[in-house]
Structure 1
Amino acid sequence: MDACVVRGAGDMRVEEREAVGPAAGQVAVRIAYGGICGTDLHYFHDGGVGNFRVQEPLVLGHEVVGRVSGGELPAGTPVGIHPATPCGECAECRQDRRNICAFSNYLGSAARMPHIQGGFVQELILPADQVRVLPDGLELRRAVLAEPLSVAIHAVRQAGHGAVDGKRVLVTGAGPIGLLVVAVLRQEGASDVIATDLQQYPLKLAREVGATRTIQVGESEWPDEIDIAIEASGTAGGLWTCLERVRRGGTVVQVGSLPPGDTGFPGALLMTRELTLTGAFRFDHEFDTAIAWLAGGLPVDPIVTHTFPLAEALTAFNLASDRTVASKVLLEISADTPS
């Protein structure tokens, strides 16, 4: 079977991997689609993400969906895949905060040795509890957004359950996560959602998924009284903007992955305005919510802009790196042929 494998910075190949069958308690999934994430792009371009460096060949991908091909579920069943396997025993797991489990394994990650191989492979073997049967009518090409949508749901809810209802919210960065945050904010009742970005193309997409206003970075006119800000660009500048623009007593959520090392921010504003700054990392139970919302018609289809066959992975990754023309780029790993 074929897989998309990175061996170091700039060294990515589609190569053959040995097929194995599922053991007891496992499911084999014929992967149909995989979404290229910013993490995958870092592994491709830089050979690592933060301190996690590629030390052995790594199959990329954690945003994947497909159909069961063996194991605990009937063949042909359409499924989404939760990419995390937390330890279940640490203090965070016992507090139902499994998304920050320090011992969790995540598909397509170099955080461990041996690396946790990812989902950009034609057939993937998984523990049965990582697999979610998809609702009738939810197409796999749409369901592939469940993983990044879960990240967005978790980020919005880190501001407080129900906190965005009727509020004006700023989203800095209109990449795929920022766009999904916009859609989640409207779903959760935000009355005014302002999206910012360096480029016009992602701002166009932001309007299509529910932004009530967009601002290209560099514009000087800003609305007053922003209640909550969600930083999705992963830049120090985005964090500064959120802390400077949010009202006194407001909340800032950092979901964009900042570069490793120190990040400067206006700490005096944090203190004198009594702002709340919190992080948002991955997700857990939100995955099931994301699947339900996608099945219910959440308007996120414009976010998927391109699809390439697995054999053209290099072209797909290069295009996904250009946010002036692309947002979420998919790999078609195997043809979606129901049994």
Structure 2
Amino acid sequence: MLGCVIHGAGDLRVEELPVPRPGPGEALVAVRYGGVCGSDLHYWRHGGVGDFRLKEPMLLGHEVVGTVVAYGSPDTDTDAPGPAAGTAVAVHPATPCEVCPECADGRRNVCRDTRYLGSAARVPHVQGGFAARIVVPAEQLRPLPAGLDPRRAALAEPLSVALHAVRRAGDLTGRHLLVTGAGPIGCLVVAAAKAAGAAHVTVTDLLPAALEYARAAGADTLVRADAPEDAGWPAGVDTAIEASGVAAGLDTCLRLVRRGGVVVQLGMLPPGQSPFAGNLVVSREIELRGAFRFDDEFDEALELLAAEPAFDALVSTVVPVQDAESAFVLAADRGRSCKVLLDFGAASGS
């Protein structure tokens, strides 16, 4: 089978790999689509994402949908079966440990010993989902709601990230939200915020094409981040979500949120220290919150995707896995793309 393996910065290879076999409690899934995420791009361009650095070859990918092929033989009564073979499914990419203090506190998304598809956070690395066949714990499979096209369902993981950030922001009903960064995650934050009742969403970005994708997601006001004279800049917003992953975006959020407002840092900032306007946090009593991954928002994301065909506009391109590097080049060019999917259909027979 074919798989996309990263060996180091700039070294992405589409390789022939052996088909894995599921063990007890595991499922073999024929992958149909895999979304290229910002973290995949970081591994490809820089050999790491945030503080997580590649130390060995790793299958990329954690935004995957496909079809159940088979299960391993259960060896205990607790190995409950998942969806029947032939069922279209999305794969929840996280396997929390369930025993650490964070899991016990109901915050499994920040589990200190989680396994996450396509992540170099631990060694050996957790191999990802960019392969024609993958083996995952059966409990990570989610059947697609009736009528949900697998192509749109491939947005479930990034939409879950957006939904978690919106949840961290608090009640948005009737509020004015600022989103800095109109990449795929920023656009999905817009859609999630609208679904949560936000009255007005302002989005900033440097690229006009990216802002147009934000408009398709439901943004009310679009602002060029490099145009201080733009009339769209708000005088003050109730809440801000920083989705660009750059310090300038966080600075914008802190300066434009009202006194006593909430700022959620969602974008992964560069490794090391990042400057920010800390005095504003103090003098304006701004609440600065982090948002990392997600947990049960995955199921909510699938339902939202099934109910809203407009999400299709955010899938800009589908590329055969054989041309994976060209897909990564395109995904890295936000002037030409929003969400780019790899198609494993021909490679997996699904």
TM-score computed with the length of structure 1 as normaliser: 0.97
Residue 216 of structure 1 is matched in structure 2 by 224
8 Å Cα contact 2:9-2:47 kept in structure 1: yes
1:118 alignment partner AA:
G
Stretches of structure 1 that go unaligned for 5 or more consecutive residues are: none
Match of 1:171 in 2: 179
Aligned length: 337
Determine whether 1:108 maps to 2:118.
yes
3-state secondary structure, aligned to 1:158: helix
Which residue of 1 is the match for residue 53 of structure 2?
53
* Superposition deviation, residue 127 in structure 1: 0.8
Equivalent residue in structure 1 for 2:129, among 119, 130, 155: 119
How far did 1:299 drift? 2.7
Residue 337 of structure 1 and its aligned partner are, at CA, apart by 9.2
> Which residue is equivalent to 2:163?
153
Whether the 8 Å CA contact 2:95–2:115 is kept in 1: the answer is: yes
Counterpart of 2:307, as a letter, is: G
Question: C-alpha deviations, 1:177-215, integer Å up to 9, x for none?
Answer: 000000011111111100000000010111111000000
Aligned residue among 256, 261, 264 for 2:267: 256
**CA-to-aligned-CA distance 1:290-324 (integer Å, 9 cap, x gap):** 01111111632221101100000010001111111
Partner of residue 329, structure 1? 340
Q: Which 10-residue stretch deviates more, 59-68 or 107-116?
A: 107-116
Tell me the distance in 2 between the aligned counterparts of 1:298 and 1:174.
Answer: 20
| RMSD, matched Cα | 1.4
1:134 aligns with 2:165: no
Note if contact 1:76-1:338 (Cα within 8 Å) is conserved in structure 2: no
The answer for unaligned runs of 5 or more in structure 2 is 72-80
The question of whether the paired residues in 2 share the 8 Å contact of 1:110 and 1:116 is answered with: yes
What's 1:12 paired with? 12
Partner of 1:277: 288
Structure 1 partner of 2:214: 206
Residue identity in the other structure for 1:241:
T
User: What TM-score does the superposition give when structure 2 sets the normalisation length?
Assistant: 0.94
Structure 1 Cα separation of the partners of residues 2 and 50 of structure 2: 28
**2:275 aligned with 1:267:** no
Q: Give the match for residue 67 of structure 1.
A: 67
SS at match of 2:169: coil
Could you tell me the percent identity over the aligned residues? 54
Distance 1:231 1:153 in 2: 14
Verify: 1:186 aligned to 2:194, yes or no.
yes
Distance 1:2 1:218 in 2: 42
Instruction: Say whether the 8 Å CA contact 2:89–2:144 is kept in structure 1.
Output: yes
- Give the conservation status (yes or no) of the 8 Å contact 1:67–1:338: no
Task: Give the 3-state SS of the residue equivalent to 1:118 in structure 2.
Answer: coil
Deviates more, 1:199-208 or 1:296-305: 296-305
Are the aligned partners of 1:82 and 1:132 in contact in 2 as well (CA < 8 Å)? Answer: yes
The answer (yes or no) to whether the contact 1:50–1:260 under 8 Å persists in 2 is: yes
Contact 1:168 1:191 (8 Å CA) reproduced: yes
Match of 2:204 among 196, 199, 204: 196
Give the distance between the partners of 1:49 and 1:169, measured in 2 at CA.
27
Consecutive aligned runs of 4 or more in structure 1 exceeding 6 Å deviation? 336-339
Q: Deviations over 1:126-176 (max 9, x none)?
A: 11111111111111000000000000000011012xx11101100000000
CA distance in 2, matches of 1:338, 1:17: 15
2:103 aligns with one of 93, 96, 121 = 93
Q: Which amino acid aligns with 1:237?
A: A
CA offset digits 1:32-69 (Å, max 9, x no partner): 00000000001111111123222211000000000011
**Equivalent pair of 2:31/2:133 in contact (CA under 8 Å):** yes
What's the offset of the Cα at 1:338? 9.5
Task: Describe the shift of the 1:14–1:336 C-alpha distance in structure 2 as closer, same or farther (beyond 3 A).
Answer: closer
